[in-house]
Amino acid sequence: METNQNAQELVYRFKYLKDQRDMFVGQLDLLNASLGNIMNTKNTLENLKTVEENEEILVPIGGLANVKARIKDPQKIILYINQDTAIEKDLDSSMEFLDKIITQHNEQINFLRTQIQNLDVNLQSMSQQFQRNMPTQ
């Protein structure tokens, strides 16, 4: 009876760790997508360094659509720091701001990767324990 209870506890622990791993993988996917967007933003700002006032550029408006627009002041950047708040910064300050966010994202990505690796090791160990405890036929 006790062996059956131990096996059941092992199954519950395995499922819990697997769910936790899946959650971390989901968070990692979101962070990677966000980092990609931030890197695109940074590249766009980098390209703005060569844009002159009143120069025509293409501005994405969502999906696959762009519009032609003229740049009024390429040195003033409006950055959204959260969903409801935007601030105006110069181009160099905007780049520094994005660099800090990129650093934070990379730290979070490294943390999640480490957590996932640790969970993988635990899950592998538990899987081997399952195999050892399986009755042979």
Q: What is the CATH number of the domain that holds 84?
A: 1.10.287.370
Q: Is 27 helix (H, G, I), strand (E, B) or coil?
A: helix
In total, how many domains does the chain have? 1
> What global pTM score does this model have?
0.80
Strand 76-80 vs strand 56-62: parallel, antiparallel, or unpaired? Answer: unpaired
Helix (H) or strand (E) holding 59: strand 56-62
Identify whether 56 is part of a domain: yes
- Is 37 inside a domain boundary? yes
CA dihedral 91, 93, 98, 102 (to 10 degrees): 130
- The pLDDT score that the predictor gives to residue 61 is 87
In a domain, 105, yes or no: yes
Q: Does some domain include residue 96? A: yes
> Does 33 map to a domain?
yes
Asked if the structure places residue 14 within a domain, the reply is no
5 pLDDT more than 60? yes
Q: Compute the distance between CA of residue 125 and CA of residue 103 in angstroms, rounded to an integer.
A: 33
Could you give the dihedral angle defined by the CA atoms of residues 59, 60, 64 and 68, in that order, rounded to the nearest 10 degrees?
Answer: -20
Q: DSSP assignment, residue 82? A: S
Q: List, for residues 57-88, the tens digit of each pLDDT value.
A: 888 888 889 999 999 998 899 999 888 999 99
Q: Output the pLDDT for position 135.
A: 62
Higher-scoring residue by pLDDT: 6, 80: 80
Q: Interhelix angle for 2-48 vs 91-133, to 10°?
A: 160
Host domain of residue 103: 20-126
Residue 58 within a domain: yes
Tokens of 19: 């769910």
Domain contains 8? no
pLDDT tens, residue by residue, 104-121: 999 999 999 999 999 999
